[in-house]
Amino acid sequence: MNVQLSTNDNVAARTRYLNEAECLPYMSAARYLIDHYVSAYWKRNRNDPEYVSMELTLCRYLLADMKDPYMRKVTLKWLARMLNINPIVLYNDPDLPF
């Protein structure tokens, strides 16, 4: 029996996002970062617990105020550290959704 689940429609994802409603607007930005900068095996499986955990962690970092240049710089450094990439890559990405 093969059962297909829709994106993040599982108990683990719902449990992790239960008290994190403020993170929901940043899901698309977190998914952009995962799609473009993560090379892990779970990158294409949005129901994988590792994917959900990374997505939520990135959303939490994106809650910072990006209008302030200093906070944007610090947040990009944090994101780069989480993604295990050089921060300059994020600084130079013109397609960042934030």
More confident of the two residues 1 and 82 = 82
Tokens of 13: 């994802």
Q: Which bin fits 2, alpha (ψ -120 to 50), beta or left (φ > 0)?
A: beta
Q: Look at residue 10 in the predicted model and tell me its pLDDT.
A: 58
More confident of the two residues 9 and 76 = 76
Look up residue 38 and give its amino acid: V
Look up residue 29 and give its amino acid: A
Look up residue 82 and give its amino acid: M
pTM of the model: 0.81
Chain centroid to Cα 54, Å, comes to: 6
Is residue 54 packed enough to be buried (19+ CB in 10 Å), middle (13-18) or exposed (0-12)? Answer: buried
Q: What is the mean pLDDT of residues 13-29?
A: 82
Q: Look at residue 61 in the predicted model and tell me its pLDDT.
A: 94
Condensed to tens digits (0 to 9), the pLDDT of residues 35-94 reads 999 999 988 888 888 998 999 999 999 998 888 999 999 999 999 999 999 999 999 999
- Please name the residue that has the structure tokens 């947040």: 75
User: Residues with Cβ < 8 Å from 48, sequence gap 6 or more?
Assistant: 42
Tokens of 67: 């209008």
